[in-house]
Amino acid sequence: MLAQISFDEIAASLLICLLLRETLILVLPDHIAGPGGWLIDTAHEEGV
């Protein structure tokens, strides 16, 4: 089963996930996808 998955399919999946994340950050309100958001937190952590 694993042999049927090609590198191109994995690369395309990663690209789609990144594009979807960026689109959600732009479209959703900040309390959902923004600094301190519960779905996507875009705030940078200090001291980690």
pTM of the predicted protein model: 0.74
Q: Could you give the dihedral angle defined by the CA atoms of residues 15, 18, 23 and 29, in that order, rounded to the nearest 10 degrees? A: 170
Tokens of 21: 């994340």
1-48 per-position pLDDT tens digit: 778 999 999 999 999 999 999 999 999 999 999 999 999 998 876 555
Q: Vertex 28, ends 42 and 47: CA angle to 5°?
A: 10
